């Protein structure tokens, strides 16, 4: 039986390191175990071992981990469920459970690899909230939100959430509580913020009220991080009762249509996205940038346009939080944020 080729094994080991840095020792150890145990004896192993894309860019290790977490949550393979948290990681026990899962649910696991991970990480709202407070402070206008790669739309309702920010709290109109440590020259959490409109798009939007879509989101949240699971469950309940749903659309098509007549007088139009840019093809990125530039040319003091991004860059371990605000449009580095929203280190531009 052929083991994983070096490039794919390396992608699993890189993901293991990232999981450990982001506070999930279980997922880190699972990725290492999969790098050692998977081979071509199963359809799951063959699909992973013969992956034609870039295993790192395609988040192949997280697809595999999500498949196993999804199966563990179903309890169809009790040995696998019992080897998952709250049980401590036990390589021998989990290895035996993996063998049982492959013997009984190989088709399920192999099929789960079709979709890229979607976490719709609610705690990233802690970073986006701060950026929106900067926009609201500087424009003095209500906001219209447009989110690219919105998944189930959980971050579209961010101003309704409550926040525990270490530097203070912000009360919300919903039971969702986002815990995010703010450090550095942070915005004032008490800055007034009004959102009068919101919309989002995704190539594969998830319905927060659909049990299958909810389970898909849960499967990609690391199983030894119960606070993430609990916060997501709370946000899903709020989003399911909300009036908006995420549109199924190509990001470039959608943003071009949305910005065709924007910005609008008396409102700040805000385009935002979190950990999405790396997944977009270069032509799609170019079209989005062109649509933003076109709309920026129509921006006025009473009709501003903002672009807020929380995206990976060349600095490992965290995401860059940036803002462009038109008229003007200079790129501002607001700070750096933990990929899962545990903290934000604010800079002077905030």
Question: In terms of Cα–Cα distance, which of 8, 16, 18, 48 is closest to 32?
Answer: 16
pTM here is 0.91
Burial zone of 53 (CB within 10 Å; 0-12 exposed, 13-18 middle, 19+ buried): exposed
Q: SS3 of 114, please? A: coil
Sign, Cα dihedral of 338, 339, 340, 346: positive
pLDDT tens, position by position, 143-170: 999 999 999 999 999 999 999 999 999 9
**87 with 49: CB under 8 angstroms?**
no
Kind plus residue range of the DSSP H or E element containing 256 = helix 251-259
Of 53, 28, 266, 275, residue with least CA distance to 150: 275
Report the C-alpha gap between 24 and 338 in whole angstroms: 14
| Averaged pLDDT score across all residues of the chain | 95
Task: Give the integer Cα–Cα distance in Å for 334 and 349.
Answer: 5
Q: Tell the residue number behind the tokens 């071009």, with chain if given.
A: 256
Instruction: With beta carbons less than 8 A apart as the criterion, state whether 335 and 345 touch.
Output: yes
CB neighbours of residue 345 within 10 Å: 18
Q: What is the pLDDT of residue 217?
A: 96
Residue 2 confidence (pLDDT)? 61
| pLDDT averaged per 10 residues, the chain (length 350) | 79 95 96 94 96 91 98 98 96 96 98 92 97 98 97 96 94 94 96 97 95 96 95 96 95 98 96 94 97 98 98 94 97 97 92
Q: What is the pLDDT of residue 57?
A: 85
Count of positions (residues) in the chain: 350
For 242, the token pair is: 């909300």
Instruction: Give the residue among 191, 155, 152 at the shortest CA–CA distance from 337.
Output: 155
* 320/334 Cα distance (integer angstroms): 8
Spell out a b/e string for 130-168, using b for 16 or more CB atoms within 10 Å of the CB, else e. Answer: bbbbbbbeebebebbbbbbbbbbbbbbbbbbbebebeee
The enclosing H or E element of 213 equals helix 211-219
Q: What single-letter DSSP state applies at residue 3? A: B
Q: Rounded to an integer, what distance in angstroms lies between the CA atom of residue 192 and that of residue 10?
A: 47
pLDDT of residue 214: 96
CA separation for the pair 118, 316 (Å, rounded):
21
Tokens 């605000």 sit on residue:
325
Q: How many CA atoms lie within 13 A of 123 on its CB side?
A: 21
Token pair, residue 180, equals 């995010």
Domain positions in the chain are: 6-112, 122-346
> Is there a contact between 221 and 230 (Cβ–Cβ < 8 Å)?
no
DSSP code, position 152: T
pLDDT for 3: 64
Q: What are phi and psi of 241, to 5 degrees?
A: -90, -5
Quote the CA–CA distance of 320 and 141 in Å, as a whole number.
Answer: 25
Distance of alpha carbon 180 from alpha carbon 194, whole angstroms: 21
Instruction: Report pLDDT for 279.
Output: 86
Report the relative pairing of strands 162-164 and 177-179 from DSSP bridges. parallel
What's the pLDDT tens digit per position in 163-213? 999 999 999 989 999 999 999 999 999 999 999 999 999 999 999 999 999
């Amino acid at each position: 039986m052929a083991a994983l080729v070096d490039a794919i094994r390396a992608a699993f080991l890189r993901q293991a390191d990232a999981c450990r840095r982001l506070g999930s020792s279980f997922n880190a150890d699972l990725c290492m175990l999969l790098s050692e145990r998977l081979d071509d004896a199963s359809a799951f192993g063959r699909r992973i071992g013969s992956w034609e894309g870039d295993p790192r860019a395609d988040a192949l290790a997280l697809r595999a981990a999500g498949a196993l977490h999804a199966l563990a949550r179903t309890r169809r393979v009790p040995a696998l469920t019992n080897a998952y948290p709250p049980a401590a990681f036990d390589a021998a026990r989990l290895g035996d459970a993996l063998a049982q899962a492959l013997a009984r649910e190989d088709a399920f696991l192999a099929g789960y690899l079709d979709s890229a991970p979607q976490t719709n990480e609610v705690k990233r709202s802690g970073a986006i909230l701060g950026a929106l407070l900067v926009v609201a402070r500087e424009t003095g206008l209500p906001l219209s939100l447009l989110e690219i790669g919105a998944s189930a739309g959980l971050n579209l309702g961010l101003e309704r959430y409550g926040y525990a920010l270490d530097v203070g709290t912000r009360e919300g109109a919903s039971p969702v509580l986002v815990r995010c440590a703010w450090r550095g020259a942070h915005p004032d959490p008490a800055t007034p913020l009004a959102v009068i409109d919101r919309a989002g798009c995704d190539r594969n939007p998830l319905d927060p009220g659909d049990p299958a879509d909810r389970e898909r989101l849960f499967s990609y949240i690391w199983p030894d991080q119960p606070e993430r699971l609990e916060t997501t469950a709370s946000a899903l309940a709020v989003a399911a009762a909300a009036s908006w749903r995420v549109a199924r659309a190509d990001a470039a098509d959608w943003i071009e249509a949305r910005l065709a007549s924007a910005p609008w007088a008396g409102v700040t139009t805000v385009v935002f996205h979190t950990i999405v840019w790396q997944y977009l093809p270069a032509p799609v990125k170019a079209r989005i940038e062109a649509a933003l530039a076109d709309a920026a040319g129509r921006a006025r003091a009473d009709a501003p346009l903002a672009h807020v991004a929380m995206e990976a860059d060349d600095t490992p371990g965290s995401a860059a939080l940036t803002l462009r605000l038109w008229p003007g449009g200079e790129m501002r580095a607001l700070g750096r944020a933990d990929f899962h929203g545990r903290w934000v280190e604010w800079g002077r531009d905030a």
